[in-house]
Amino acid sequence: MAQLRRTSMADQAADALLERLHAGEWQLGAKLPGETTLARQLGVGRTTVREAIRQLAGRGVLTSRQGAGVFVTALDVREDWGEVLDGADIAAVLEARIAIETEAAALAARRRTPVQLRAIRRALEGRVRHDLDIEQHVDADTTFHRAIVLAAGNPVLLELFDGFTPRLRQAMIDLLRMRAEFGSADDQQAHTGLADAIADHDPAAAGERSRIHLTGLLEELG
């Protein structure tokens, strides 16, 4: 692995970690290797790695959990519109999800490849683990929905979704805490139906199932 030689080592280390995220080395919710391992891989000191992680945490990409490690919370950085997203309430986040994901689901039903369908199915299975806490469930759920957006084959939709993920993640955690339950059989069935519509190349059904699911979440807010 190439080592870093430019002056601003913390900045370059942050860029290198972000490139590895973009390349798919770590999925949403994944735990990063320890500082010692990352420092050895990048050819820098642990202090530099720590500063790079701090930078990416400030940009909404990583989060440090006391006693647990550093985890991926987004697959791309927030740009200037991050301030707008940070101020959005849960209803606004859900409305944005409807706008992005309903169209993405319909496009995915038209364009998905066999490889992308397998990724959607794997992510669907990841939602049903019984040992997930709320944050882990939201990360697994977001991985499923991102796999659909990726299968839509529209880079603008994917960029919007990735930039939107940090605020989406927190909004969904807040919503599930209010509901006091998550991961029900009915919820999983709704997601299975969405995946099935995409598998069947049925854009109308895929878009409608996405809209029904997300509208249902919005209606819960009253």
What is the spatial distance between Cα 49 and Cα 11, in angstroms, rounded to a whole number?
10
Residue 1: pLDDT band (50, 70, 90) is low
Residues 6+ apart with CB under 8 A from 70: 31, 32, 53, 57, 62, 63, 64
In 3-state terms, what secondary structure has residue 174? helix
- Report which listed range, 24-28, 75-79, 104-108, is most confident: 104-108
What is the spatial distance between Cα 154 and Cα 101, in angstroms, rounded to a whole number?
12
Domains of the chain and CATH, by start: 9-72 (1.10.10.10), 82-220 (1.20.120.530)
Residue 77: pLDDT band (50, 70, 90) is low
Q: Give the pLDDT confidence score for residue 133 in this predicted structure.
A: 86
pTM over the 0.75 mark: no
Q: Give the pLDDT confidence score for residue 177 in this predicted structure.
A: 85
**Residue 85 above 80 pLDDT?**
no
